[in-house]
């Protein structure tokens, strides 16, 4: 259940003119034009949590697709798959995050590590000590709503167990800072970090470092 109430904003009509304008227009044309502001304001239509979550999801996925396009325009030898999906917060459906892409990278002590890149429309601490994956809202700590974005990448691995549980991706806490490869509010830093993760050799990494 959301902690907030949401309502649809009323479309504004043209601003009303001076008081005499209505009468002058009537004498000239025989018509009285009434603007929206002349009528009693209609009652606000409150939005359900589901409606808010749907609107948030569309905006998040649009941002994800635009970011993916920007990543793939950088260099012909650095390409990422488009894997767009989102999740909104149950207690605040105007907030959420979108998965943009995923790939694999070799690190000094770990080879062929799978990771996912996300964008959130809020800032928060990433609580690496709880939650098996990013779908668990306990993954975020001290969420701060507002006009902000957070970019982050998380190392993943196959879950343990049988059946569906083993096929589910969970956080790989052996890599990075307990599974978090980077977290930033700077879009340029995020772009550079993702491109570095996607660069397959030292030469490509030099190009990224020199340009971004």
What are the tens digits of pLDDT across the range 57-86? 999 999 999 999 999 999 999 999 999 999
**Cβ–Cβ under 8 Å, residues 151 and 183:** yes
Lowest mean pLDDT among 96-105, 143-152, 196-205: 143-152
Task: Tell me the average pLDDT across 5-31.
Answer: 53
The overall average pLDDT reported for the chain is: 81
Residue 26 in this model has a pLDDT that exceeds 50: no
**Could you give the CA distance from residue 55 to residue 164 in angstroms, rounded to a whole number?**
30
Read off the pLDDT band of 38 (50, 70, 90): very low
**φ and ψ of 93, to 5 deg:** -65, -5
Distances (CA, A) of 19 to 33, 41, 47, 72, 152: 12, 19, 35, 57, 55
Rg (alpha carbons) of the chain, rounded to whole number: 24
How much is the pLDDT for 47?
Answer: 85
Choose the most confident range, by mean pLDDT, from 62-66, 109-113, 136-140: 62-66
pLDDT 10s digits, 148-188:
899 999 999 887 766 555 567 888 888 988 899 999 999 99
How much is the pLDDT for 61?
Answer: 97
């Amino acid at each position: 259940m959301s902690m907030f109430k949401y309502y649809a904003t009323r479309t504004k009509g043209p601003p009303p003119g001076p008081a005499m304008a209505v009468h002058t227009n009537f004498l000239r044309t025989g018509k009285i034009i009434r603007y929206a502001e002349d009528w009693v304001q209609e009652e606000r239509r409150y939005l359900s949590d589901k409606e808010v979550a749907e609107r948030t999801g569309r905006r998040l996925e649009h941002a994800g697709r635009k970011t993916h396009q920007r990543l793939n325009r950088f260099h012909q030898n650095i390409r990422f798959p488009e894997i767009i999906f989102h999740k909104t917060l149950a207690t605040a459906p105007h907030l959420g995050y979108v998965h943009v892409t995923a790939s694999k990278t070799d690190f000094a002590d770990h080879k062929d590590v799978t990771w996912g890149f996300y964008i959130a429309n809020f800032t928060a601490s990433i609580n690496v000590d709880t939650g098996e994956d990013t779908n668990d809202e306990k993954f975020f700590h001290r969420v701060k709503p507002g006009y902000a974005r957070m970019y982050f990448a998380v190392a993943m691995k196959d879950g343990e167990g049988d059946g569906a549980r083993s096929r589910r991706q969970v956080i790989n806490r052996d890599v990075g800072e307990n599974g978090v490869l980077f977290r930033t509010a700077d879009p340029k830093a995020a772009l550079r970090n993702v491109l570095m993760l996607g660069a397959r050799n030292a030469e490509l990494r030099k190009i990224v470092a020199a340009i971004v």
